[in-house]
Amino acid sequence: MSSIRFLRTFVAAARGGSFAAAADQVALTQAAVGQQMRALEAEMKKTLFDKTGRTMVLSPAGHLLLPRAEELLAQYESMRRDLQDQRQIAGTIKLGSLISAMGLLSSTLAQLKSLHPNLEVELRVREQTQLMQDVVSGELDAAVVVERQWPEVPGLLWTPCYDETLTVIANSGIAAPDTSIASLFASQPFIRFDRRTPTGARIDRILRRLQLVPKEFLELNSLLAIAELVRKNVGFTMAPLLKNFDWESDPALCVLQLPGRPIARRLGMLENGRRSHITGVVREEMLAHLRRMKPGS
């Protein structure tokens, strides 16, 4: 079966005047060049070289083939260059994220920036509902959000990326791995994640289901601020274990699993589809980044 390589060898032989010269140029042995040329002649059903003794010249069919082979090789090279250029993406995209996903997203974007220096990213931190509206309206090209029922909008693309398990997080001064969750709820002030957010509302439903009645102390709409207050032992909380923040290794914090089957929220990327050639690259880089991370971190 002939190929671009065979044509390249043919051109080298035609220009070099011998199979030996062609072999030098295309880094093969003379025997391999001869085999390729015989295969090419069989494919074309024509003799391409006239050999009289040690001299070898192009046959009429060879003369006909040479310029066309060179043209084909030039087109092939041009096609290859174009594809290589396309791998570099450029332009500006508007990305949104929940503040809690910023840790992961920022390290993803840092990696992306080194791969695509001409890519500019405008990053907006907003809450879930606003992010969803902005992606649908086109205000944002894509956003990292918690999984929900999405509206039926043409082009809207949802890709689940990772799960965050709901846990109880307390200061290590008041809790150890064997501390019962019920005793924390009975004795310690509770810092609640804003019930107006979908995740906060879900935490509220779980508390009811587990019949845990907290000693309400504060209600905040920032998981990072809540974590900081827990570090200062202002109270304890129930919150998703955020990716890329490594609270489990934090000596000031004690992370406790909820009883029963683990409950998680699913995060992913919502793209509005209009600039999917760029947002797709961000999505794939984020997935690759997640694969590189050690499990559970």
Binding site for DNA (CB under 7 A): 1, 3, 5, 13, 18-21, 27-39, 51-56
Q: What are the Cα distances from residue 236, in Å, to 219, 220, 259?
A: 12, 13, 17
Task: For the CB of residue 5, give the shortest distance to DNA in the complex, in Å.
Answer: 6
Distance CA 153, CA 77 (A): 41
Helix 19-26 to helix 4-16 angle (10° resolution) is 130
What is 232-294 written as a DSSP string?
Answer: TTS-EEEEE--TTT-GGG-TTEEEEEPSSS--EEEEEEEE-STTHHHHHHHHHHHHHHHHHSP
Q: Which is nearer to DNA, 32 or 281 (CB)?
A: 32
Q: In the bound complex, what is the minimum distance in angstroms from residue 32's beta carbon to DNA?
A: 3
Number of CB atoms found within 10 A of residue 38's CB = 11
Please report how close the Cβ of residue 42 comes to DNA at its closest, in angstroms: 11
For DNA, the closer of residues 53 and 151 by Cβ is: 53
Output the smallest distance, CB 8 to DNA, in A: 10
Cα–Cα distance for residue pair 255/172, rounded to 1 Å: 9
Min CB(34)–DNA separation in Å: 3
- Alpha carbon distance 98, 228 (integer Å): 17
Nearest to 89 by CA among 296, 293, 278: 278
Smaller CB distance to DNA: residue 3 or 75?
3
Nearer to DNA, 73 or 258 (CB): 73
Q: How far is the CB of 110 from DNA (least distance, A)?
A: 34
Tell how strand 119-125 and strand 91-97 pair up: parallel
Separation of alpha carbons 55 and 66, rounded Å: 18
**15 vs 113, which CB is nearer to DNA?**
15
Instruction: Output the CA torsion sign for 102, 103, 107, 110.
Output: positive
CB 193 within 8 A of CB 239: yes
Q: Work out how close the CB of 61 gets to DNA at its nearest, in angstroms, rounded to a whole number.
A: 15
Contact 236, 207 (CB under 8 A): no
Nearer to DNA, 27 or 83 (CB): 27
For the bound state, the minimum distance from the C-beta of residue 55 to DNA, rounded and expressed in Å, comes to 6
CB closer to DNA, 56 vs 278: 56
**Measured distance CA(71)–CA(208) in Å, rounded:** 74
- Which C-beta is closer to DNA: that of 13 or that of 119? 13
